[in-house]
Amino acid sequence: MGSAGAVPVSIWGPFAGYGTRGRHVSWLINEQGERADALRDIVAARFERREIPRATVEPVKLVRQGVLVDTRPYFLIRRGLTTAGLYIARFGQDLFVSQVTYFKGPISSMRILILAAALLFALIYPVVYNNAFSQIGVSLFGGVGGDLEGLMLLTCCLGPIYLLDWLALGILALFSGYKWLTVKDVLAALRVPPNEFDIDDTVALEKSVEQTVREALDAVGIEQRLMPQAAESGFRRRLI
């Protein structure tokens, strides 16, 4: 279906690095496959005419994950943290149109502060502990000099926190590495879900892309009613 070539190997999926998938809708229009190329050209021109605010439109070839995999031509429409992918291709004698949305959550300032505090504690604690330990002295007659209570506090109270801190940082490093290998996003742990403004912007972009395709259908002689408006917009709702 509309392959644009093949590549030997790809470790990431076609939309790796673009965030979390939201809405994915598609249409199959009977007996209109020969108009796929013309529709793509007109859609590209319509995007330039529509001038979606703060958006960029780029034709790219996305690669499937795996070995000896195919590529497919997409329009990627990016606006802020949202990316809409549009695929138009011939499917036998029919015309296939697919639209998918991905959202890359914003970086949380609170999570950055927590991470910075954890790193700072992991670096400062050994220095403070070694300094306190070096001030402890033992005499030949069994006497102990220095701030022994402070050393005990560092050992018994802050010591376990120090170990847990490094454990958390290690888990974060492993999780970040896993996210890089799977979705090409090393900062995934610092991202937060979309807020209401983000959802509004995403829905507006989805509607704009869909309407652009519907208008282009008229230009190639295909009735818009053959591509009914998608029932859902934005992000899929989860019960849990």
**Is 146 within a domain?**
yes
**Is 68 within a domain?**
yes
Higher pLDDT, 148 or 227: 227
**Is 44 within a domain?**
yes
Residue 26, SS3? strand
The residue written with tokens 């995934």 in the block is 188
- Is the pLDDT score of 16 beyond 80? yes
Q: Are residues 149 and 117 in the same domain?
A: yes
- Asked if residue 77 lies in contact with residue 83, where contact means CB atoms within 8 angstroms, the answer is yes
Using one digit for the tens of pLDDT, what is the confidence trace for 138-183?
Answer: 444 444 445 556 666 767 777 888 899 999 999 999 999 999 999 9
Task: Among 22-26, 94-98, 135-139, 150-154, name the one with the lowest average pLDDT.
Answer: 135-139
**Is 145 within a domain?**
yes
**Domain containing residue 163:** 109-189
Q: Are residues 14 and 127 in the same domain?
A: no
- Asked if residue 74 lies in contact with residue 85, where contact means CB atoms within 8 angstroms, the answer is yes
CA dist 71 → 1, 9, 150, 181, 210 (Å): 10, 11, 64, 20, 23
Based on the structure, what is the number of domains in the chain?
2
Mind spelling out the 3-state secondary structure of 151-191?
Answer: HHHHHHHHHHHHHHHHHHHHHHHHHHHHHHHHHCCCCHHHE
Binned at pLDDT 50, 70 and 90, residue 133 comes out as: low
Find the mean pLDDT for residues 19-29: 93
Binned at pLDDT 50, 70 and 90, residue 30 comes out as: very high
- Asked if residue 15 lies in contact with residue 21, where contact means CB atoms within 8 angstroms, the answer is yes
Residues 32, 36, 38, 44, CA torsion sign: positive
CA–centroid distance for 80 within its chain = 12
- Is the pLDDT score of 47 beyond 90? yes
- Asked if residue 87 lies in contact with residue 17, where contact means CB atoms within 8 angstroms, the answer is no
- Percentage of the chain modeled with pLDDT above 90: 68
Q: What is the dihedral of CA 63, 69, 73, 77, to 10 degrees?
A: -20
Residue 1 has what pLDDT?
A: 63
Quote the DSSP letter at residue 226: G
In whole angstroms, give the CA distance from residue 86 to residue 64: 15
Q: Are residues 89 and 197 in the same domain?
A: yes
Residues 175, 19, 99, 9, CA torsion sign: negative
Which are the contacts of 53, defined by CB distance < 8 A and separation ≥ 6?
A: 79
Q: Are residues 155 and 211 in the same domain?
A: no
CATH number of the domain enclosing 49: 3.30.530
Mean pLDDT estimate for the chain: 87
- Is the pLDDT score of 236 beyond 60? no
Binned at pLDDT 50, 70 and 90, residue 230 comes out as: confident
- Asked if residue 182 lies in contact with residue 15, where contact means CB atoms within 8 angstroms, the answer is no
Find the mean pLDDT for residues 12-18: 93
Residue 190 has what pLDDT?
A: 96
Q: Are residues 215 and 151 in the same domain?
A: no
- Is the pLDDT score of 221 beyond 50? yes
CA dist 112 → 95, 123, 176 (Å): 47, 17, 14
Binned at pLDDT 50, 70 and 90, residue 91 comes out as: very high
What predicted TM-score, i.e. pTM, was given to this entire model? 0.81
- Is the pLDDT score of 32 beyond 80? yes
Residue 197 has what pLDDT?
A: 93
